[in-house]
């Protein structure tokens, strides 16, 4: 494996400056990245980590609190609307030409579908009037970085299922055989699509455009989910990776919305969890880095240095070990052992036990990543995490659903209704 680049002498003198502040979510494993970034860049970094909703609120309303905003394209619109961030000049991004077509054009290949909802390309390029669109320009709103193609995880030992052979649809989340042991992620711009894909497959609900539901469609879906909450079908909703992991370890859930770091964490604890490959397609997401509006001079230079470092290859190798892809796979490959590259990106069987980002054994010999190679998975997107036009209304209805789930489970048991 190729070692990360040595510290650049030209920037070592910056070490005494105040840290570059990065506002992020738990998508970014900054504890595994920070020391190497500081060594390579020659200046200190300070990370502030929150859940999606909190990070977005801080980014939009307190832009002086951070220098770099590390979030997702589906959480970009509000921050851009409030002019909390500034455009990124692609001429200052060393790896821009190595970024895959998935981000820059909308699909990984000419044959692949783009997917409904907030595909990153739809808000990637900054136009002369400061609007965002897919029309190429020399400025972008967010530097594309980590991304993945999510679905749901199943505990194979607890369910007795061979997931690859027996599970093929999002509808499994609503199957009565998992009554009381199904968990959904508590984030409206994400969890709503897990429910929508499941309800469309299992219950016959239909949407004119799942990526941008009407008020009536939101009501239809939330009302359906509410009845399932009242019946006791769902285990507690989860918000963080640790909460998702705990639900499986405690066996309160055997099937759930699942993010890759939680899957890898469970595998490292010898839990036989397997992600499904739904025929309907994945729910995809794409992260990125933004520049705060106040940046200028040397501080702006340092922010660009961090953006370039993030696409240098080594950070992408760390991300790969928790199941995430980077927008510049050709650079990541140089920092992964060949057998790691074969498993994480090529979809080939692991020829040895492979580590998670902290070095713990996670992937067993012979195991194959569900869904196959990066390029196969990227061509199978149903919908992207999305902030819909009726997002504010969705948030209110989603809050009602989650509040009922938190308090309603006990009432269901006490009243027998």
Kindly report the number of other CB atoms within 10 A of residue 296's CB atom.
Answer: 10
Calpha distance 270→364 (Å, rounded):
9
| Structure token digits, residue 282 | 């994945």
How confident is the model at residue 16, as a pLDDT?
64
Q: Residue 143: what are its φ and ψ, rounded to 5°?
A: -80, 115
Q: What local confidence, expressed as pLDDT, does residue 407 receive?
A: 84
Q: Report the sign of the C-alpha dihedral through residues 62, 79, 262, 35, in that order.
A: negative
**Secondary structure (3-state) at 356:** coil
DSSP 234: B
Q: What is the C-alpha to C-alpha distance for residues 118 and 122, in angstroms, rounded to an integer?
A: 7
**Pick from 188, 174, 170, 104: nearest CA to 380:** 170
Closest CA to 275 of 184, 193, 160, 368: 368
Mind spelling out the 3-state secondary structure of 177-193?
HHCCCEECECCHHHHHH
Cα–chain center distance at 215: 26
What DSSP character marks residue 389? T
Are 405 and 182 in contact, with CB atoms under 8 Å apart? no
56 contacts 71 by C-beta, under 8 angstroms: yes
Beta-strand relationship, 354-355 and 381-384? unpaired
The per-residue b/e assignment along 353-391, b for 16 or more CB within 10 angstroms, e otherwise, is ebbbbeeeebbeeeeebbbeebbebbbbbbbbbbbbebb
Question: In the prediction, which pLDDT does 17 show?
Answer: 82
Q: Using CA atoms, how far apart are residues 339 and 358, in angstroms rounded to an integer?
A: 18
Q: β-pairing, 139-140 with 88-89? A: antiparallel
| Binned average pLDDT, 10 residues per bin, the chain of 417 residues | 42 67 95 97 97 94 97 94 97 97 94 94 97 97 98 96 97 97 96 98 97 98 98 95 94 96 94 96 98 98 98 98 97 98 98 95 97 97 97 97 78 31
In angstroms, how far apart are the furthest CA atoms of the chain?
70
* Rounded Cα distance, 363 and 323, in Å: 11
């Amino acid at each position: 494996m190729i070692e990360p680049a040595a510290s650049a002498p030209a920037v070592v003198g910056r070490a005494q400056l105040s840290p570059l502040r990065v506002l992020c979510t738990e998508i970014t494993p900054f504890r595994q990245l920070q020391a190497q970034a500081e060594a390579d860049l020659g200046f200190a970094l300070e990370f502030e980590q929150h859940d999606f909703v909190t990070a977005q609120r801080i980014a939009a309303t307190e832009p002086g609190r951070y220098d770099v905003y590390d979030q997702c394209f589906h959480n970009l619109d509000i921050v851009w609307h409030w002019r909390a961030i500034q455009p990124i000049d692609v001429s200052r991004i060393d790896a821009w030409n190595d970024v895959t077509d998935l981000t820059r054009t909308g699909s990984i290949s000419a044959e692949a579908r783009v997917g409904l909802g907030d595909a990153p390309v739809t808000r990637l390029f900054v136009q002369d009037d400061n609007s965002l669109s897919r029309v190429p320009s020399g400025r972008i709103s967010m530097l594309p970085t980590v991304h993945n193609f999510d679905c749901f995880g199943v505990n194979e030992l607890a369910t007795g299922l061979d997931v690859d052979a027996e599970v093929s649809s999002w509808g499994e989340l609503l199957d009565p055989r998992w009554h009381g042991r199904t968990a959904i992620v508590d984030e409206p711009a994400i969890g709503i699509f897990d429910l929508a894909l499941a309800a469309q497959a299992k219950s016959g609900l239909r949407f004119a455009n799942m990526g941008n539901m009407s008020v009536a469609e939101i009501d239809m879906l939330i009302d359906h989910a509410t009845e399932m909450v009242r019946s006791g079908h769902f285990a507690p909703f989860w918000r963080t990776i640790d909460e998702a992991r705990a639900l499986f370890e405690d066996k309160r859930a055997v099937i759930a919305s699942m993010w890759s770091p939680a899957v890898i964490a469970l595998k490292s604890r010898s839990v036989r969890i397997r992600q499904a490959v739904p025929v309907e397609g994945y729910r995809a997401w794409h992260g990125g880095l933004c520049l705060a509006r106040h940046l200028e001079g040397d501080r702006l230079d340092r922010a660009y240095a961090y953006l370039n470092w993030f696409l240098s290859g080594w950070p992408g190798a760390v991300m790969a070990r928790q199941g995430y892809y980077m927008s510049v796979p050709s650079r990541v490959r140089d920092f992964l052992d060949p057998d790691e590259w074969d498993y994480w990106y090529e979809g080939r069987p692991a020829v040895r036990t492979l580590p998670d980002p902290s070095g713990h054994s996670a992937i067993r010999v012979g195991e194959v990543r569900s869904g196959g190679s990066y390029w196969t998975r990227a061509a199978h997107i149903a919908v992207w995490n999305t902030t819909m036009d009726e997002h504010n209304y969705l948030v209110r209805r989603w809050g009602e659903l989650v509040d009922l789930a938190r308090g309603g489970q006990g009432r269901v048991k006490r009243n027998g209704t």
